[in-house]
Amino acid sequence: MKIISGTAHPQLAADIAKVLGLPLCNAKVNTFPDGESFVQIEESIRGADVFVVQPTCPPTNHNLMELLVMVDAIRRASASRITAVMPFYGYARQDRKDKPRVPITSKLVANLLTAAGVDRVLTMDLHAAQIQGFFEIPVDHLYSVPVLIKHLKNTYVKDMKNLVVVSPDIGGVKNAKSYANILGTELAIVAKQRISATEVNAHAVIGNVKGKDVLMVDDMTESGGTLCAAAEVLKQHGAARIFAAVSHGVLNEKARTRLASSPIERLLTSDSVPMAYGDQVDTVSIAPLLAQAIANIHNNASVTHLFEV
């Protein structure tokens, strides 16, 4: 087994390798002055089972192209199998034609990965689970819920009877429902209208949150618009304390500014991307989860038990 890291999230790759008790494979991955990616594998990987750790987070296009170049280099070095470990799958939100003459880019990315030589994909909390069907190769789709739930119970909310799980939009109801079922709480929904890519208008709450502690859950946040707008509406409807949990904290500076002035006390997220940090942000490592999945894939064992809470 060989673990190779791209430049997208070297810390996560190092943590995974440490859990597995392996050194990272020696590989030179850098960028030429004109922006082109260059990769050279500096040790023999002939016949090896290779896992490439590279979330395609911002800068998305660069990290995606770097992953494709790495896979090509690994394939030409005669590896027996190549698994792309993508804790965060970029372009996942472009998964359907919701307007005339637009692409389905998440399908295009699946085609590119397969064409480059990827034999298997290991990913986590896809924006839409049906993206797995865009691939003609096996996809192992993990969930961060077991990792995040454990931290939530130990640190955030002690009294589950006073807790309500909230989906900040209609599309996240299924995800929120899974949290509510595990925690044994009620479910509420915030109705929103998207004005632009970074601006959201939240205007109604379906369910009772008055006097309750609220846990908003979503698959990802980037600008913080949806979460912060929903938090304001929940506060207007009498919510007591407000927390949030997201699988992927793809946070930019605008998100951190919004969080600082919002009613959200703490934001819990995984370290699937390197920008998951901030004064109000708590990050939980998914390295043990990914390491166990990698070990199971290498040993042809089941990954189903990794979903257990």
- Residues known to be catalytic: 192
How far out from the chain centre does Cα 57 lie?
Answer: 9
Strands 186-194 and 200-206: antiparallel
- What's 25's DSSP letter? P
DSSP state of 286: -
Give the separation between CA 140 and CA 121, rounded to whole angstroms: 6
Assess contact for 226 and 169: CB atoms under 8 A. yes
What's the distance, Cα to Cα, between the start and end of the chain in Å? 28
The C-alpha atoms of residue 182 and residue 188 are separated, in whole angstroms, by 15
Say how far residue 54 (Cα) sits from the centre of its chain: 12
Concatenated DSSP letters of 144-171: SHHHHHHHIIIII-S-GGGEEEEESSGG
Number of Cβ atoms within 10 Å of the Cβ of 184: 10
Strand pairing of 264-270 and 242-249? parallel
Give the β-pairing of 163-167 and 139-142.
Answer: unpaired
Helix 60-76 vs helix 105-116: crossing angle, to nearest 10: 20
Query: What distance lies between CA 133 and its chain's CA centroid?
Result: 18
Is the bond leading into 59 cis (omega within 30 degrees of zero)?
Answer: yes
Cα 11 to Cα 51: distance, rounded to the nearest angstrom? 15
